[in-house]
Amino acid sequence: MSGIPSALFVHAHPDDESLWTGGTIAAHIARGGDADLITCTWAPGTVRNVELGDAARELGLSRPPIALGYADSFVPESAPDAPSFIDVQFDDEVAALVGHIRRIRPDIIVTYDAFGIYGHRDHIHTNRLVCAAADAAPLLHYAPGSGDPWQVKSLYFATIPVSVVDELRPFLPEASHLPLVGTPDDQVDLTLDLHEQLGAKIRAITSHRTEMARSASMKGFGSLPRDQQRLFLARESYQRRDLVPGGADLG
């Protein structure tokens, strides 16, 4: 059995796993780590869920992504028979995620920072959901029918350092809806150099063909000059919260 901590990546939408943590996923798997991916929105069978499977394979994930199946809060047709992610009873969402955590039994969970990187309400909601579920999963008295309790060792929150935002800002459209403000560099706990995974990450991002064609933000990132694009894509940064003494190292 590998001595590398196992990791669970939890994201709001298809494409987020590739854009914000794709290099980390690919690097983790390349060094022998085990990883799973949960995506909160877009129901199985929808086009973006299918594209998510393609992206996951490019990153090296050996198991299909798990879809919680809620609707993107801005795109009701992403799950026509399900409620919006942010409208579901929070306790029900926590219980569902706890069940997956107890089954998968990850050492590490990776999600967004508390601002959702750029303020997207689904991202912020995912951060809150992960934090609540990680706290509840080891409790004997919480949802005893959802599996044996499990203690996650560390949470990692994807973020962008202010220094990177300052470098990118002159090249991003002023009308972009992304309020990129960044996390002060001295509050960033880990930055991974992922140049060796850049090819896999780009292939995963471009697997999300629907979003690449639709999203002004994706087009904006895609139009960055080469040096700034590599700065954005080849480094991924995190804040870290240990839930047990010593925690677990990612990368």
> How many angstroms separate the CA atoms of 60 and 30, rounded?
8
Domains of the chain listed by start with CATH number: 7-242 (3.40.50.10320)
- Where the chain has pLDDT below 70, the residues are 1-2, 174-178
- Which of 97, 98, 109 lies closest to 5 in space, CA to CA? 109
Read off the pLDDT of residues 23-69 as tens digits, 9 standing for 90 and up: 999 999 999 999 999 999 999 999 999 999 999 999 999 999 999 99
What is the structure's pLDDT at 1? 42
Alpha helices in 105-215 (DSSP H): 116-119, 121-136, 162-168, 198-207, 209-214
> How many angstroms separate the CA atoms of 56 and 64, rounded?
7
What is the structure's pLDDT at 174? 67
What is the structure's pLDDT at 91? 97
87 CB-contact burial (10 Å; exposed 0-12 / middle 13-18 / buried 19+)? exposed
What is the structure's pLDDT at 179? 77
What is the structure's pLDDT at 218? 77
What is the structure's pLDDT at 102? 98
What is the structure's pLDDT at 133? 98
How many Cβ atoms are within 10 Å of 3's Cβ, its own excluded?
Answer: 6
